[in-house]
Structure 1
Amino acid sequence: MISEYQGLKLDKFQIEAIEAINNGNSVILSAPTGTGKTLVADYLVEKSILEDKRVIYTAPIKALSNQKFKDFSKQFGSDRVGIMTGDVVINPNALLLLMTTEIFRNQVITNDEELKHVSFVIFDEIHWLNDEERGTVWEESIILAPLHIKVLGLSATIANAEELARWIEVIRNDNVVLIEEHKRIVPLEYYYYSKETGYIGYDALLDFYYEKLKTGDRSSSEPLFKPTSHIDLVKSIEKQFLPALYFVFSRKQCADKAHELATLKNYLNPEQSIKVKNAFLEQFGDEDSWSPSTRRLFRACRKGIAYHHAGLLPLQKSLVEDLFLSKTVSVLYCTETFSVGINYPVKAVCFDSLNKYDGRSFRPLANHEFFQMSGRAGRRGIDDRGYSFAIVDLNYFDKEPPIKFDINKLEPLTSQFKLSYNTVLNLLATLSQEQIEIYFRKSFAAHSYVVVAEKAEAEIRTLSEQATKSQEFLCEHVGSYKCPINYYPKHKELERLRKAYNKLEPRRKNKIYGRQMHRKIRKWEKVLKVAPKKCSKKQNEHCQIHSTEWYKLQDKINGFKNQLSSLPDYNTFNNEFLRKKFQLEQMGYIEDGVINPRGEFARHVYVQEILVTELVYSDIINQLDDDQLAALISCIDYENKRNDYYHKADLIDFKPVKVILNYVQSICGAEAVRFDHRVAVITYFWSKGSPLSDIQQLCNLDEGDIIAVFRRAIDLLRQMREATTDPLLRERFSITMKKLDRDEASILEL
């Protein structure tokens, strides 16, 4: 039995997981963030490479794929390691292939021949199956991956890990070993912080708040509690609890807070500052050539303070990550994505707020989100404890009290399964009708329905038995208006309604509310026409006691029945499949059950597949030059933020495009189209060769967001190139990609 790996003594859960892998099993490993789950994945990777077996390592975000690619390339050599993301394709036939989960899903749904040689797939952060936007990708990947491929799923602590493991076991006809570890290697302590209290526990915070309410001067126009800033929190922990991650749920505030702290603090000595400058010079060249955003980032980093968010350029993010690992960053302001997978442990984690904007509204952090981020605190082998600090504003306590998070009340994983047109086409292309029906029965939603249904039906049976026993003490009229307990209160209500109606003036009786009152009176007069059974006072009291219990049981029974009716089951997905199939037939993608060339093209496009296909099969593309084509493609699936600004320029005639947009929406619905023409201007001039500094004058987007627009366009053009069988179109798409693939937007191995 293995007890050590990479010079580290293994914990019990790691030993059990490795033993299960060695015995040829699939494994689901659920453990708190920072406990060493990835060590098991590292072992599997090394074992596979030594045995000359192919293994795929999937991750939810490109940053995690990129980091693992760098790490494994150093360990095993670049010839044995490859990567495939929307941005990068390097050595795709390597023994170890890193990829985003979307890329793996695209391979399994098209039945890629290369998968025949894969022995294991690792799903890092498999709990992303719960993600509302992208969870379907994990579900489809697990369902459709060839059955000879074993699964290693790494997950943060989840409430229903057993259900997840049993689902995978059933649908893949495989032995799945579940390993759960609930204890952290480095214990975590959780505190709330305000300027007046310092960092204290939840109960102490409540005591302070209510005591201040009693003794404080509430007549003053000044807030009762002093406002608290990030500076206050950092100052209070800097002597004992650095390095720290400081989570801010706003990109702009990330940078602003870092610079605000940098005007007051410097955590580096002169020698360390020189090292930081040298790192910037190596990454970005001579200082005179640095962009304004790079200069701004440097001004914070040279003081041991940094920020990290999606609006930074890829090279800027990479440099911040390297500086953090080299221990020259003491406080890193970051957004939530920094907590995903990437191993950057710290002594403390801070929260600027316990609410976040989820794309629709502000809401409190969920339990699993809080513990995922807090889990970065506590460095194994360095710290005895990790610490989590959350700022609270006591002035809003009565409206929005701080959340008391509970590791024992984590939200269960729930299926986010959704059917795309791409999935429908690929299912029709690769599976029989019988297999498609089985596919829907294999969804985690269908599995969960069975699990929940069994529990709900058992509860209904138990409650129904209790209700039947309770009813033995009641007469046959319980629950009806023949029972005096129900009849007389309703009769009094009817009398009040009659009096109110009779007081109305004649003209008011003809108004809408008058007619409604009259209809209500007539209805209840019919219901209460028959007098109730005559019962003694003692009988009524007896019935009152037992009927209350009976009604409670009936309410619970109805609650479980409603729960069952609201759950998606096999029929939900099958009906959705048939609806989308009919729409595809309407548009000519399927004829007499056979997928035609239009449908074949669409099944190899994974972003807005219907819109893209309609544009390609129209004459629009032929009317555009390469720069206009790049601009048009960048508009697809682009969703701007509320305050985004773009320079207006008539570079493309969007009228024929709008005709196609309206056509697709008329058949498929509004959700099938996401398109914003305003972003075209920046892509057009980038394709023309304009420098990034000029592009920035055309919009108010962060540099990282600008580059992301170009990279998404390149990725979609690549999909279109692979989907088409027309050699001229394929060449055209390649040329357009190359015009975008330069300088800051450069992507390797197109």
Structure 2
Amino acid sequence: MDKTDLPPVGPDDLPLSLLEMGCSGRLELITHPLPQNRPLPPHSTLPHGLPPTCLDLKTEVEKRFLRDPAWLPVHGVDDAFHKFLKISKRNKEVDSLLHCSLSPLHSGLSVVRDPTTGMLLDFTEVLLEDTGLSAKNSLSLQRQPGPPSESLRGSNTNYPFLPAGMEELTLEQIKKKSELEEDIDFEEEAKTTKSELNLLSLLSTFDDVIDALPEEKEGVSQKEETVKLPRTNSLEDLGIKDSGNSPSQPSANTVSLTEQKKKPQQEDKGDNKKWAVPVDITSPCDDFYKRIPDPAFKYPFELDVFQKQAILRLEAHDSVFVAAHTSAGKTVVAEYAIALSQKHMTRTIYTSPIKALSNQKFRDFKTTFGDVGLLTGDVQLSPEASCLIMTTEILRSMLYNGSEVIRDLEWVIFDEVHYINDAELCFCLYCIQISYDFVVCQRGVVWEEVLIMLPEHVSIILLSATVPNAVEFSEWIGRIKKRPIYVISTIKRPVPLEHYLYTGNSTKTQKELFLLLDPSGNFLTKGYYAAVEAKKERTSKHAQSFGTKNVSQHNTTASQDRAVWQTLLSYLSQRQQTPVVAFTFSRTRCDENARSLTSLDLTSSIEKSEIHSFLQKSLTRLRGGDRQLPQILLMRDLLKRGIGVHHSGILPILKEIIEMLFSRGLVKVLFATETFAMGVNMPARTVVFDSIRKHDGTGFRNLLPGEYIQMAGRAGRRGLDATGTVIILCKAGVHDMGDLHAMMLGKPTVLHSQFRLTYTMILNLLRVEALRVTDMMRRSFSENHRDTQAHEKRISELRNTLSSLPPLDTEGQLSDLLSYYHTITELRITTETLQRAVLESMNGLKALSVGRVVIVSNGQHHNALGVILQVSNDAVNRTFTALIICEKGNEEAAGDDLSNKAFHPIYSTTLFIPEGPCSHTVQKLKLQDISAITTKTLKVIPERIIDNYNKRQQPRFRLDPPGQAISTATQELLRLAEANPNGITTLDPVNDLHLKGVDVVEGVMRHRVLQDCLKDFHCIHSPTFTEQFARVQERMSVQEELDKLLFLVSDQSLTLLPEYHQRIKVLEALQYVDSTGAVELKGRVACQKSSTAHELLLTELLFENTLSPLAPEESAALLSCLVFTQNTQIDPHITNTLQEGINQVLSVAQRIGELQMDCGIAQTAEDFVAQFKFGLTEVVYCWARGMPFAEIAQLTDVQEGTIVRCIQRLDEVLKEVRQAARIVGDSVLGSKMERASLAIRRDIVFTASLYTH
């Protein structure tokens, strides 16, 4: 009865539990009751329960692709999926389109601890600095890192990091500057003390930090003083003075590393500050290992003095410019910087002028350091590595796009800096398509952009061949970066060279080798004359010449050339003078020379086997059909005989094979163009010049000394050869001795700027309001001549002088004094302008003949009559010897100097009449000394007058009376003056001299108006007029000099400023920027274009939907005009659709060219349109459709290597168009560009480099 009254037992009250038995899936039921106050039993015999199970594949496919379409990515899907999305039902979530970012916290909590026990005592609120900073709104290194996807290349919406030498502007300054179209004055900004951010500071030892505390404290106080300055709208208005003395320059050999680390890198405000510091390498560095006991990288050989000095500077985190001879060992400096960054756990970027050099350096550095990455247009290997190798264009893009790599960057190495030199080499590289990077003639401007944009914490290493103005170039870099640049130059080559002339052409004459320049640099004329005599013996009488000038090397036939090369190479092979680099300045001649040597075999059987094995191994990565290309078959035969060819027309993989075989000594003779001199560490035993003349784009000329030295420097292998041999072939005749001497011993071409404005640069800087295009122009090497510091000092002096001058009296009669001064000044300038026009005319020169009476006004004479005695023949600085009347006793006054020329206060035509006895003087007059030409002439005997006057200037004849000729002429001039006291009739430039130019006619009319205006002024009647006019003249002269200097230091004096305004007009007309300079959508799209110089055309084609109707292969073919630059002899066969596309491209290009002309840019529309070549349109079209390379090579006369490079560069253009299409929201075009890129990225064109695999 009691049991039935109990409540029912619940599930929780039952003593039941389940236990999983291992992985078998079997369960056991536990029925015993649980003990009290005991933990629950385990639910499984496994420690972590059953492992998770995978969904069935069918179930997963149904779930992801059918039941949940939103799971699939939006971009990069095919058309079938888009159709599926249209018919499938989706749950709309409008809220997912909304996003609201939380405002950043401006304060945080800081822990307060007991200093002795470390116990937590309290929390305190502290203000956080740099909150809210991001890559989208700040240039600061303290900003928050961007997303991982933008860490390497950055984004075109990011701000770059603040370049060294400037400070970020406030909002008020940005607004003010944009209104005035003014820019940052870096020299004024340098007067404010700013905190230093240096990666080396993170690595300092504890002792260094303690020692530096007083300096840091002082720096903080200075910073606080700077912050307390009143806010102004202009940096110039701050007027900040020096905040401390600059550090003294220590000796490059004696300063200790600790002192070098602690020295502050702030600007020296002294007038004698030199940013370039030459380092003495003549004395040995005996304490090198004492100063660096634990070097970051140890070499198995003893370093040269210049290498040790450079390493000492690197250890001090200084920037260096190493200008050393070829093969001297500049790479040691780069290697030590890489090792030092790995030791510091920072990063180094190595930049090269061409991609091929980047690949070679990647292989070398990868072998040495391991942690090395490569970034080029089409290859990205190990981007997280501590050392990144890239081209200069990639680094420029990273700087503009605010890449996060820049934060950890300690060193940037610029190799082959001498190739910044001039546009001529750029033309050479451009024509032969040596580079993968967009437009090679922009190399100089890219280098300068990168140097300017590098942040403050990055140190710079510049490696160059010897250049004359390394100090000047370093001075420019140091000035814009506000840090010293240490210049280290080698004195001589490690392997001296011997230069020969070769006149042989047969077995009998194969030893005709004549030494012309010995290893000591002595030019041996004996060897030259011996070569001439040897050549004359085999030259027909009508062609004999003793060192004929401008000898043409094309007068020889092909058989004669073959005989010369066969003879020379056999002779060099016998003398163990191989390997040989034969520089030939024509790709066609390179191929012809190599093919002609059919009977020459320079390799042994063992070497043939090694070459065969290497070729087989290297060519396995090619498809079977590609291995049978005619060029590969030809090169295979040549290489087995030890002969190679190296130029831009060779396939890239073949060039790499040839380079590797040459470096291993298996290629005995290499016919190469000039660009092989840019190769890395590939010296030869002998260098041969096929000619010393080359085509530079405008005509044939002799090699420049710098070009010759760079190529000849490939001779001589350090550690293997005692001397290097350089041979100049004399085929048709011996070159002129003067030309040879100038080429061999002349100074190399100095480094000078090739900076120019591009639309991409302008748009990249306009999108960042804190930077200005004029900042870039002002800091370019082309503006290095602007001595702003000296100008600023002189401006300060002139302002002080101006403030100390007595005030002007402009009351009463003198109220129009200033107007009078400006009027008479304009009259004087107008008179001088008319006189210049008269003298530059034929009629004017005829009028100023011997005997013409003129009116002279200069420092000694005022309206004095004179007669012309002699006219100089110097058309530039023409002078006139004249007899002039003057007062007795004033004959010796030194008034003929221009600096003594007086500004007469009152304009008057009254002629000078002596008050006492009339005397005379003979002087040489300049143009400005003759104020008017009269209608009168005198009959004079000039020789007698000049001889008599010069004789009486001698002391013993000084008291002799003047001769009859002088006396007669003097009396005639006096008579004319007395007969016309109020003025004599003068020649009118228009009516008498018949000068009908618009400027002359307007000048004469203006001269008359100004003369009439002078009559109406009242100030000339004031008794103090002369005194007050002198004050005005003094004040105005100071003011004019001040205005001139202010103009020179302003942006208005920038050389490229007019072009900048012209390009801005173009961008505004095309709606890339608005009227305020803000970058619009088209401008942001154009910022993406870095692989081609034609960003405007590409952007216009995108916005006009020119590419949308085309198939992927047609789009690729049409865009090939942006990367192909050669003229072809074969017209391509193209489809009607492609022809319509070509017409549209030409129409857009014509419109852009005409707009540029209308805006003032000095390039005709025809020249702009002519840049776009469609010679590879058919080739690219067929390649994108899958045609084998061997077949497309038959469609054109363009060499295979050029075709490959153009298609590779085209792939970069397609990627940029795809990215631009995504920016504007055209996903269809983006997908089409991706398919086009996939279509051309195949087979031999995109075979991986041998250096990277």
Q: Distance in 2 between matches of 1:732 and 1:217?
A: 65
Give the conservation status (yes or no) of the 8 Å contact 2:1131–2:1175: yes
- Is 1:484 the counterpart of 2:894? The answer is no
* Structure 1 residue identity aligned to 2:1181: Y
The equivalent residue for 1:33 is 326
TM-score normalised to structure 2 length: 0.50
> Which structure 2 residue ranges, 5 or more long, are not aligned?
1-287, 424-440, 517-523, 548-555, 795-858, 876-931, 954-1047, 1157-1162
* Structure 1 residue identity aligned to 2:348: V
The equivalent residue for 1:184 is 493
- Is 1:231 the counterpart of 2:566? The answer is yes
Q: Distance in 1 between matches of 2:327 and 2:952?
A: 60
Q: Which among 200, 203, 213 is matched to residue 515 of structure 2?
A: 200
The equivalent residue for 1:340 is 678
Report 1:55-134 matches (<5 A): 55-77=348-370, 80-132=371-423, 133=441, 134=443
Give the conservation status (yes or no) of the 8 Å contact 1:346–1:379: yes
Q: Distance in 2 between matches of 1:137 and 1:240?
A: 43
Give the conservation status (yes or no) of the 8 Å contact 1:483–1:532: no
- 1:541 CA drift (Å): 7.6
The equivalent residue for 1:628 is 1114
Give the conservation status (yes or no) of the 8 Å contact 2:705–2:743: yes
The range that moved more, 402-411 or 27-36, is 402-411
Gap change, CA 1:696 and 1:376, over 3 Å in 2 = same
Report 1:417-566 matches (<5 A): 417-432=755-770, 435-448=772-785, 450=787, 482-486=867-871, 529-531=936-938, 535-539=945-949
The range that moved more, 207-216 or 599-608, is 207-216
- 1:579 CA drift (Å): 1.3
Gap change, CA 1:740 and 1:210, over 3 Å in 2 = closer
- 1:443 CA drift (Å): 0.6
Q: Distance in 2 between matches of 1:424 and 1:116?
A: 25
Gap change, CA 1:637 and 1:572, over 3 Å in 2 = farther
CA deviations 1:184-226 (Å, max 9, x no partner) are 1111122222226423315235423665799998645799999
SS in 1 for 2:756: coil
* Structure 2 residue identity aligned to 1:617: F
The equivalent residue for 2:269 is none
Q: Distance in 1 between matches of 2:1105 and 2:360?
A: 43
* Structure 2 residue identity aligned to 1:258: A
The range that moved more, 178-187 or 649-658, is 649-658
SS in 2 for 1:342: coil
Gap change, CA 1:476 and 1:716, over 3 Å in 2 = farther
SS in 2 for 1:412: coil
Q: Distance in 2 between matches of 1:299 and 1:439?
A: 52
Give the conservation status (yes or no) of the 8 Å contact 2:528–2:737: no
* Structure 2 residue identity aligned to 1:200: L
Gap change, CA 1:437 and 1:701, over 3 Å in 2 = closer
Gap change, CA 1:333 and 1:127, over 3 Å in 2 = same
* Structure 1 residue identity aligned to 2:1112: D
The equivalent residue for 1:520 is none
Gap change, CA 1:728 and 1:542, over 3 Å in 2 = farther
CA deviations 1:673-706 (Å, max 9, x no partner) are 5211232110001000100011012101111111
The equivalent residue for 1:597 is 1081
Q: Distance in 2 between matches of 1:173 and 1:141?
A: 16
Give the conservation status (yes or no) of the 8 Å contact 1:111–1:430: no
- 1:363 CA drift (Å): 1.7
- Is 1:257 the counterpart of 2:593? The answer is yes
SS in 2 for 1:590: coil
- Is 1:269 the counterpart of 2:604? The answer is yes
Q: Which among 1229, 1232, 1250 is matched to residue 732 of structure 1?
A: 1232
- 1:165 CA drift (Å): 0.9
- 1:42 CA drift (Å): 1.0
CA deviations 1:314-373 (Å, max 9, x no partner) are 111111111112211111111111111411011111110111122332221111111111
* Structure 2 residue identity aligned to 1:119: E
C-alpha RMSD of the superposition: 3.4
Q: Distance in 2 between matches of 1:301 and 1:223?
A: 39
Give the conservation status (yes or no) of the 8 Å contact 1:610–1:672: no
- 1:248 CA drift (Å): 0.8
- 1:450 CA drift (Å): 4.3
SS in 2 for 1:414: coil
More helix by share: 1
- 1:306 CA drift (Å): 1.1
SS in 2 for 1:119: strand
Give the conservation status (yes or no) of the 8 Å contact 2:349–2:390: yes
Gap change, CA 1:656 and 1:420, over 3 Å in 2 = same
Give the conservation status (yes or no) of the 8 Å contact 2:1211–2:1237: yes
Q: Distance in 2 between matches of 1:230 and 1:570?
A: 56
Give the conservation status (yes or no) of the 8 Å contact 2:1123–2:1206: no
Gap change, CA 1:481 and 1:571, over 3 Å in 2 = farther
Gap change, CA 1:680 and 1:231, over 3 Å in 2 = same
- 1:475 CA drift (Å): 9.5
> Which structure 1 residue ranges, 5 or more long, are not aligned?
458-473, 491-524, 544-564
How many residues align structurally?
669
SS in 2 for 1:271: helix
- 1:253 CA drift (Å): 1.6
Gap change, CA 1:257 and 1:635, over 3 Å in 2 = same
Q: Distance in 1 between matches of 2:470 and 2:677?
A: 21
Q: Distance in 1 between matches of 2:383 and 2:1053?
A: 36
- 1:235 CA drift (Å): 3.2
The equivalent residue for 2:1196 is 699
The equivalent residue for 2:1143 is 655
Gap change, CA 1:53 and 1:211, over 3 Å in 2 = same
SS in 2 for 1:610: helix
- Is 1:746 the counterpart of 2:1235? The answer is no
- Is 1:18 the counterpart of 2:316? The answer is no
CA deviations 1:9-40 (Å, max 9, x no partner) are 10000000011011010111000111000111
Report 1:191-340 matches (<5 A): 191-195=500-504, 197-201=512-516, 203-208=525-530, 219=541, 229-238=564-573, 239-261=575-597, 263-285=598-620, 289-340=627-678
SS in 2 for 1:70: helix
Q: Distance in 1 between matches of 2:1247 and 2:1215?
A: 12
Give the conservation status (yes or no) of the 8 Å contact 1:481–1:528: no
Gap change, CA 1:81 and 1:246, over 3 Å in 2 = same
The equivalent residue for 2:1153 is 665
The equivalent residue for 2:476 is 167
- 1:242 CA drift (Å): 1.3
TM-score normalised to structure 1 length: 0.82
- 1:129 CA drift (Å): 1.8
- 1:231 CA drift (Å): 2.9
- 1:230 CA drift (Å): 2.8
Give the conservation status (yes or no) of the 8 Å contact 2:1123–2:1210: no
SS in 1 for 2:1124: coil
The equivalent residue for 2:1095 is 609
Q: Distance in 2 between matches of 1:487 and 1:402?
A: 38
Gap change, CA 1:237 and 1:443, over 3 Å in 2 = same
